[in-house]
């Protein structure tokens, strides 16, 4: 049995406070890849992907309004659906792709490369958003898929999707880089994500919204949230 499955079972039995492959380390950051090019493209200052996605968002909005036959209502509705779709995809990806423990070393390596390293170094400022090169590749694939499914409506759907993604990476960055705001709704969102990292990585999968955790019953227990407030005070 692979170590991730063993650690998951130990965690569920209460034999360990945190699975070893998801435990935060004391260091803020570390070199993760031996290959210099891979290491280089695996990180970026937050402002780089943030600005990149905003530019893409405005470009698609402009194209939707002035270079397609879609009317204003169609653009707005498709954009809203794109925004809403991202929130669901965020939850599904985080829960079932990054936190499903299976008896496969290959899948564990994939999880560690894509997400596990973030659990080890949750405050690394250059790895809190997908860097530009892999982000552009994945974005192009997703737009192509959307276009195959919905045709011309993809030009309006995609910027809504991108805007939601940019909101997600912005919130994610600040959740790890600044203390919880005093404004109660924001504070709850901050505590929600910190509970995922420091109390129970198999709950609180939403980052930009707690809605899907509420829908699917993966909200963290109140006791864990209170515990996390104490953890935050020490960080």
Tens-digit pLDDT profile for residues 84-129: 999 999 999 999 999 999 888 888 888 888 898 999 999 999 999 9
The pLDDT, as a whole number, for residue 230 is: 52
- CB–CB of 142/41 below 8 Å? no
Q: Is the pTM of this model over 0.85?
A: yes
- Between CA 171 and CA 71 the distance in angstroms is 31
> Which of the four pLDDT bands, split at 50, 70 and 90, describes residue 232?
very low
Once rounded to an integer, what is the mean pLDDT over residues 202-219?
A: 96
The pLDDT, as a whole number, for residue 26 is: 86
- pLDDT mean across residues, the chain: 91
The pLDDT, as a whole number, for residue 29 is: 86
The pLDDT, as a whole number, for residue 40 is: 86
The pLDDT, as a whole number, for residue 223 is: 47
pLDDT (tens digit per residue) in 3-50: 888 989 989 888 899 999 999 998 888 888 888 888 888 889 999 999
Q: Is 209 helix (H, G, I), strand (E, B) or coil?
A: coil
């Amino acid at each position: 049995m692979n170590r991730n499955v063993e650690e998951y079972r130990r965690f569920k039995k209460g034999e360990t406070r945190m699975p070893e492959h998801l435990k935060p380390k004391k260091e803020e950051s570390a070199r993760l890849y031996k290959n210099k090019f891979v290491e280089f493209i695996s990180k970026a200052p937050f402002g780089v992907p943030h600005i990149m996605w905003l530019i893409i968002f405005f470009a698609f909005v402009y194209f939707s309004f002035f270079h397609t036959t879609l009317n204003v209502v169609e653009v707005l509705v498709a954009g809203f659906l794109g925004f809403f779709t991202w929130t669901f995809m965020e939850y599904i990806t985080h829960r079932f792709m990054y936190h499903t423990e299976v008896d496969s070393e290959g899948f564990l390596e994939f999880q560690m490369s894509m997400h596990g390293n973030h659990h080890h170094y949750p405050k690394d400022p250059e790895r809190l958003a997908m860097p530009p090169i892999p982000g552009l590749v994945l974005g192009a694939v997703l737009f192509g898929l959307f276009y195959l499914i919905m045709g011309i409506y993809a030009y309006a759907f995609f910027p809504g999707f991108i805007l939601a993604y940019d909101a997600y990476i912005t919130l994610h960055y600040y959740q790890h880089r600044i203390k919880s705001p005093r404004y109660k709704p924001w504070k709850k969102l901050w505590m929600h994500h910190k509970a995922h990292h420091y109390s129970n990585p198999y709950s609180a999968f939403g980052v930009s919204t707690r809605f899907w955790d509420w829908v699917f019953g993966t909200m963290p227990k109140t006791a864990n949230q209170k515990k996390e407030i104490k953890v935050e005070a020490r960080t």
